[in-house]
Structure 1
């Protein structure tokens, strides 16, 4: 477990550098200089730059998956559960917008086994998300004339696009943005027969 301040400092520096100048253009020397540590200290926690890049994904994926599991475990009406999941994934993505920027620009630069692991974990999350939609379709809440895979892609395209337009310095409150995007999404999949 990487619980040291050194690991946190290195990760923060790497996220910032990868987000601003790209993974390929960032050297280990730049990362350790920005973190204020030695290469030896960095290599105590991360085996390589690839390990560091994977660590950024691992942290975000683990956080979002644990939140998803907690929200689903609480139970409740399908629409309320799906709404809570949507708001959460948007808020956590906004909270760590730089990591999201790195995620979508640099994932293809991970080693093949690490890419497969990230893909597997994202698919697992999407499968649970899709199961909520299927449940809502069975309850007559959501339209069933569009394939579930397309509905899932529709929502996550908004999540993936956040890093292209959202600015933490902007006037928009992140919770309000998360709720507005969620409302737009849920309205778009609502069954025409559902009175809500």
Structure 2
């Protein structure tokens, strides 16, 4: 068959009982997309289960096999998604910081007034679910591991990404604080040091707070939000802050 007749033949209606070439290609593509979706879903399930385990029981005491059991797979199947328990941890840490940074940047971008933006980001920081709390608990407890280089390329890449994003969040806070200092809305201070102080106070909550514990999150939010704003140099009431 010539090239022309072959091409023409491919465009003809398929013979009954035979699959045309394009149907085979579409089917293969659909199968690949289906596998990717399944992989993404299972990976998300593993991250969610690991977050709950690490947040509740601690990273060191959690067994990799226990996470596998939680998601209904064998322990070796986890290595299809993560190289190790520590690789999984670094991804969880990055997810926690990425969520915080995205929300911070979204608020800062939609509020030209830095004082209003500071009030909003402080309040928003406590608008978290029980799962978010567990992820924040893991971040606070295991953040120090981001300073230790890893020999495994995948672990090191995940560590580097999480550490860089942590720095980006700190710098975003420092930039917003500096914007508020310029017109004299808050007292002058070294912006990055103040950012670290505010974040340190915020992070201290997740060392002891437990979802469904004796103290409601609303009460924790009211107490710490006021102290964080005081540390920045702002009154807790936004109208009072604007009038100052």
TM-score w.r.t. the length of structure 1 is: 0.82
Q: Does 1:133 align with 2:169?
A: no
Alignment map for 1:9-48 (pairs within 5 Å): 9-48=45-84
Q: 1:66 to 1:173 in 2, by over 3 A?
A: same
Deviation at 1:82, TM superposition (A): 1.2
> Counterpart in 2 of 1:62?
98
TM-score w.r.t. the length of structure 2 is: 0.68
Alignment map for 1:159-178 (pairs within 5 Å): 159-170=202-213, 172-175=215-218, 177-178=220-221
Q: What is the DSSP-based 3-state SS (H/G/I as helix, E as strand, rest coil) of the residue aligned with 2:184?
A: coil
> Counterpart in 1 of 2:113?
77
Deviation at 1:187, TM superposition (A): 2.9
Unaligned 5+ segments in structure 2 are: 1-35, 150-155, 236-240
> Counterpart in 1 of 2:126?
90
> Counterpart in 1 of 2:187?
143
Root-mean-square deviation over aligned CA pairs: 2.8
Q: 1:109 to 1:25 in 2, by over 3 A?
A: farther
> Counterpart in 2 of 1:152?
195
| Structure with more contact order per residue of length (Cα contacts < 8 Å, sep ≥ 6) | 1
Larger radius of gyration: 2
Structure-1 separation of matches of 2:129 and 2:202: 7
Deviation at 1:179, TM superposition (A): 4.7
Please list the CA deviations of residues 25-56 of structure 1 after superposition, one character each: whole Å capped at 9, or x if unmatched: 32321211122222344222222212211121
Deviation at 1:95, TM superposition (A): 5.4
Deviation at 1:136, TM superposition (A): 0.8
Structure-2 separation of matches of 1:82 and 1:98: 25
Please list the CA deviations of residues 124-148 of structure 1 after superposition, one character each: whole Å capped at 9, or x if unmatched: 111111111111111111011x322
Q: What is the DSSP-based 3-state SS (H/G/I as helix, E as strand, rest coil) of the residue aligned with 1:184?
A: helix
Deviation at 1:155, TM superposition (A): 1.1
Please list the CA deviations of residues 111-168 of structure 1 after superposition, one character each: whole Å capped at 9, or x if unmatched: 6234443232111111111111111111111011x32233212211122111222222
Deviation at 1:85, TM superposition (A): 1.5
> Is the contact between residue 6 and residue 42 of structure 1 (CA under 8 Å) also seen in structure 2?
no
Please list the CA deviations of residues 45-81 of structure 1 after superposition, one character each: whole Å capped at 9, or x if unmatched: 2222122111211221221121122112212311111
The number of residue pairs the alignment matches comes to: 194
Unaligned 5+ segments in structure 1 are: none
Between 86-95 and 118-127, report the one with greater CA deviation: 86-95
> Is the contact between residue 126 and residue 152 of structure 1 (CA under 8 Å) also seen in structure 2?
yes
Structure-2 separation of matches of 1:157 and 1:166: 15
